[in-house]
Chains A and B, each alone.
Chain A
Amino acid sequence: MGVLVTTTINGDTVEFACDPHESLLDVLRNRLGLSGAKEGCGTGDCGSCSVQVDGRVVCSCLMLGVEAEGREIETVEGLSTGTELHPLQTKFLEHAALQCGVCTPGFLMAAKALLEKNPDPTEEEIRFGLAGNLCRCTGYDKIVRAVQDAAKVMRG
C-alpha cells in the first residue's frame, strides 16, 4: 500500500502517502492539489511538468513520488512571494511569452534554474538551457526575450 513520504514543497513541510509506482507529477497533481505542473507527454520529452528538486530542474513525470523523501521541491505555485510576482513571471506577461500558457509553468521553472546557475546567459545559452521544454504556440521568440529581460532585472 501507500508509502509515507516527508518532503518540503515551496518551503512547507509536506507529508503524503503514495503508491510506490506513482510519479511525483501525479502526487503533486492528484494528491496535493498542485496542478500547475502539467502532463504533456509522461515521458520526459516536453518539460511541461518541470519542477526544481534541490535546485535542479527535473521532469516530475520521470521521478517517483517516494523519491521526494527529504528533498526540497519547488513548483510554479511557489514562484511568487505573496502577491509579488517573480521577475520571470512579470516578464513572461509583459513580453506575451505565452499564448495558450500550458507550457508556461515548466518554462518558468526551467528558466529559474537556468538563471540561478547562469545569471547572464547569452541568447544561445538560453536557447539550449530551455531546449528540454516544448512550446508549440510562440516559436520561442518572446520566451527568449522575456528570459533575457528577467535576467537583466534579477542582476539589478
Chain B
Amino acid sequence: MAASENATAVPSADGNMAHPFEDAPNHVTPTVVHDPILTKTDFKSVGTRPLRPDGLDKVTGRARYGADFNLPGQLVGLVLRSPHAHAKIKKIDTSKAEKLAGVKAVITAADLPDHTAGDQSMYDILENCMARGIAKYDGHAVAAVAAVDAPTARAALKLIKVDYEILPHVTDVDEAVKPNAPLVNPKMFTEGVEPKPKKASNIAKRTEFGHGDVDAGFKDADVIVERSFRTEQTHQGYIEPHACVASVSPDGTGELWVCTQGHFVYRNHCAMLLGMEVSKLRVTSSEIGGGFGGKTHVWAEPVALALSRKANRPVKLTMSRDEVFRASGPTSATSIDVRIGAKKDGTIVAADATLRFSGGPYYGMWAELGAMTAFACYDLKNVRTVGYEVLVNRPKTAAYRAPSAPMAAFAVESVVDELAHKIGMNEVDFRIKNAAKQGTRASYGPVYGPIGIGATLEAAKKHPHMSAPLGKNQGRGMACGFWFNFGGQTCTDINVGPDGSVTLTVGTVDVGGSRASIALCVAEELGVPYEQVKCIVADTGTLGHNDMTDGSRGTFSSSMAGIFAARNAITVLRERAAKMWEISVDDVTWEDGHAKAVGEKYGNLTPLSLKEIAAAAGNTGGPVAGHSEIVADGAGVSFATHIADVEVDPETGRSKIVRYTVIQDAGKAVHPTYVEGQYQGGAAQGIGWALNEEYIYGKNGRLQNPGFLDYRIPVCSDLPMIDTQILEIPNPNHPYGVRGVGETSIVPPLAAIANAMSNAFGVRMTHVPMSPPRVLKALEAARKG
C-alpha cells in the first residue's frame, strides 16, 4: 500500500513504533526484545561539538531554501481557495482566466484524475490538494493557475468563477461529536465499534489501549481525581512557507525542488497522485526552513506538477503565510477527560482517559497517538485509554512534533499533580513512585527496555532549579513527557575519494544539524577526523527510499545506516590493504583510520592510512565505497522532565516564564550542542502553545487569525534562557546507544506551566492556551470563591 497517516501504529516489543506516517509496511520486531547491538561506549568524535557543514552557507545567505531556486522559463503558480468552511462546488468557470494574456495553465480537480486505485488515505490526500466537488474547510484549494508573473496569476485567480452552495459546517471538536452536528463526511461510519454503526457520524474511528481491570482498580483507590480538559489547535509555525519548483516534460518525466522533511515520500506520493512512475520523478530537497511535522504532507506539490504538466513549463509555487495557516496541516484541537485513582501511600491503582482529537475533514490517527502516549510515563496495573478521531471543517491535521502527546500529557500530568497534592505527597516523589521502568508493561502494550523516566525525575529532584526561591506572583511546576521515537527505512552511501576524503550521502533531510551528527558517527567508525567526512543529503535519484525526517528518526536511523555503511567500507579497505601487502584479508584489521597487519610475521608492515589505500584504489579494484540499506528498528523510547517557573500578573492575567529547565534522556548525545538545541526549541514551542497560540474560528467557519500578528508565537523577549540537562541512558538497539531527541521536549511544557499556575494561585487551568483572558477569568472565579 502507499501512505500514510491512516496506517495503524504498531508498537514493537520494546516500545518503539513502526512508522505510522509513511508507506513503509507496518512491522513488529519479533521475539528478540533487546538484542544488544550497542557496541561502543568510548568515543573520540561522538560527543564533540564541531561546526556543521551547512553552517557557513546559512550565515552568509547562500543556503538555498524552497523559494530560493528558479528554472529557465519558470511560471508563477497560485492557488484559488474556498472562502467557505463547507460548500458544494456546483460549477467552476475558468474560461475567462484561461483567456487572460500570460496565463499558461488553469487547473481544477478535473486535471488531477484519480490514480489512487482504492487507497483511501491517498485519495484523501488527493482531495485535500484540490477539492473534488465539495470544499471542506476555509482555505481548501479549488483551482490553480500558472502565469508568466505574479500580477497576471493574481488577476487570473479573480477571473475564475466558482458557484458554491454553502453547506452547514462544524469546526469545534466537542460540537462535532454531538448527535445532530452537521456531517463533515456523510459516508463516515465509525470504525472500531461493534456492531458497525448504521448512522454516519463525525467520529471516524474509536481506538482503545490498556490492561488490567480499571473499574476494580478505582474501587481500591483512596483518592480519585477526575477532570476534563481542552486544548486549542496550534500550528507548527515554521518560518519558511511551503515552496516548490516543479517541471514536468512531455515525455512524462519530472523534477521537483521542494522544502520537505521527506523528499522520497513526497516523490512517492506525487508520483502516485500524478499517475507517474516513481523512478521518473526526481525530487531534490532544498534546505528546509523548519518543519516540525508540518512538511511531511504534500499540498502544493502535486498542484505545481499538474500545472507544469499542463503548461509544459516549470512552475514555482510558494504559499503565503495566510495560506500556510489556512491550508497546511496544523495539529488537533482536543477535548480530554482523565480520571486517576491512588492509594494514600501514593500508588496509582487505576487510570482512565477518553480523548477526542480533531483531524480536519479526514480520517486520522491523532486520538490514537494521544491514547497511546497518555500514560506512557507510568507503571500501571490498571489502565485504559479510549481515543476518538473527530472530523471537523478545518484543515487536514498533520503531525506536529511528538504529535498528540503534548495534549494528552497536559491532561494527565495536570491530574497527576493534583492527585499527588491531595494525597499530601511531593509531586516529584509521587511520580518517582509510579514511574515506568525497565520491564514495565507500557499502557500502549509493549514492555520497556532500559528507559530514562526515573533518571530524569531523580535529576529534577536534585536540580538547583527545584529549590531556588520564587518571587512575588510566581509559581513552579513540573511535568513529564514521553515519545515513542521512530526508526524506519534508511539508505546511506559512503564514497571514499581518491584523496582519502569521505563523502557520506544520506537521504534524511537535515532539519537542525543532522549532517554534522551523522558525519561524527561515521568519522568515529572509520577512525578519521570529523573534517575528513563531508555529509550531503542526496536527491531521490541517488539513493534508495528513505523515510522522512520525522519521529525523531533522522540522526538515529541515518547514523545507524552510516555506521553500517562505514563497516561495509572498512571491509573493502581491509581487502585493498591485503592486496597491496599481498597477504590474506584475515590478517588485516582496521584501527584508528588505518589498516594494520596482525601477527608477528607482518610486524614490520607500516599501517596503511585511508588516504594511502584510497590513492592506490585504481590498482586494487576501483573506487572504495560502503553501503547500507536498513529498517532501523529499536529507536529507543524517550522521556523528559521539565521544570517551569511562571509569573502571572494578577491584574491582567498575563503570564511570563521566568525560569525553565529541560532534563531529557538522549541515549548518547552525538553533538551535545544540537541536542540542547532540540530541547530548547521544543520547550519554546510548548511554552507558546501553553500561553498564547490558538486557531480562532468565527461562527462562519473562517479562520480569523491566519498571520503571525494574531497567531502569536513566542518572541525573544517572551522567554528566559532555557537550561538543559542531557542524560545518557544508552539505547541498546543502536551501535552507539543513540536515541532520537527531537520531539519529547514539546510534551511536558503545557502541563508544567499549568501546574506552576496552580501552585502559585491555587487555580487549576484546564483550557490551553492559558492566554490572559482565560487566566484572568480563572483568577476572578477563584477570588469569588
Q: Which residues of A contact B (CB under 8 A)?
A: 19, 29, 34-43, 45-46, 48, 75-77, 79-80, 85, 89, 92-96, 98-105, 108, 123-124, 126-128, 130-145
Contacts and interface: CB of A to CB of B under 8 A. Distances in A.
Contact of B55 (A40, A93, A138, A143): A93
Interface string B52-65: 10111011111111
Contact of B241 (A29, A39, A92, A144): A39
Nearest to B678: A99
A38 B239 contact: yes
Given A34-B61, A139-B722, A43 B707 contact: yes
A27 B49 CA distance: 38
A102 B62 CA distance: 11
B320 interface: yes
B51 A35 contact: no
A46 B716 contact: no
B59 A108 contact: yes
B55 A139 contact: no
Interface stretch (B334-342, B534-542, B680-688): B680-688
Nearest to A102: B289
Interface in B502-541: 511-513
A51 B67 CA distance: 18
B716 A104 contact: no
Contacts of B707: 41, 43, 45
Nearest to A125: B717
Nearest to A37: B61
Contact of A134 (B52, B55, B239, B292): B239
A37 B713 CA distance: 21
B321 A40 contact: yes
Contacts of A104: 58-59
Interface residues of B, number: 55
Contact of B681 (A46, A138, A144): A138
B673 interface: yes
Contact of A139 (B49, B240, B719): B719
A6 B532 CA distance: 46
Contacts of B54: 101
Interface in B167-194: none
B165 interface: no
A131 B715 contact: yes
Q: 6 tightest A-B contacts by CB? A: A36-B61, A102-B289, A139-B684, A101-B58, A99-B512, A45-B708
B580 interface: no
Select the residue from A19, A38, A77, A85 with max chain B CB neighbours within 10 A: A38
B239 A94 contact: no
A137 B674 CA distance: 11
B68 interface: yes
A42 B708 CA distance: 10
Nearest to A21: B151
Nearest to B150: A26
Nearest to A98: B58
A80 B60 contact: yes
A126 B717 CA distance: 8
Contacts of A93: 51-52, 55-56, 59
B680 A142 contact: yes
A105 B61 contact: yes
Nearest to B55: A93
A77 B709 CA distance: 28
A46 B54 CA distance: 23
A104 B64 CA distance: 13
B238 interface: yes
Given A101-B287, A139-B684, A144 B721 contact: yes
Contacts of B68: 29, 35
Contacts of B676: 96, 142
Interface in B651-693: 673-674, 676-677, 680-681, 683-685
Most buried by B among A38, A103, A138, A139: A139
Interface in B212-264: 236-241
Contact of A38 (B240, B292, B684, B717): B240
B496 interface: no
A145 to B, nearest CB: 8
B673 to A, nearest CB: 4
23 contacts: A35-B64, A37-B61, A41-B321, A43-B708, A45-B708, A45-B709, A76-B61, A79-B59, A85-B60, A96-B676, A100-B287, A100-B289, A101-B54, A103-B239, A105-B61, A127-B716, A134-B708, A136-B237, A136-B292, A140-B684, A141-B719, A141-B722, A142-B680
A95 B560 CA distance: 26
A134 B713 contact: yes
Contacts of A89: 59-60
Given A41-B707, A76-B61, A96 B674 contact: yes
Given A102-B240, A144-B721, A137 B677 contact: yes
A40 B65 CA distance: 12
B20 interface: no
B290 interface: yes
Nearest to B51: A93
A38 B243 CA distance: 12
B239 A135 contact: yes
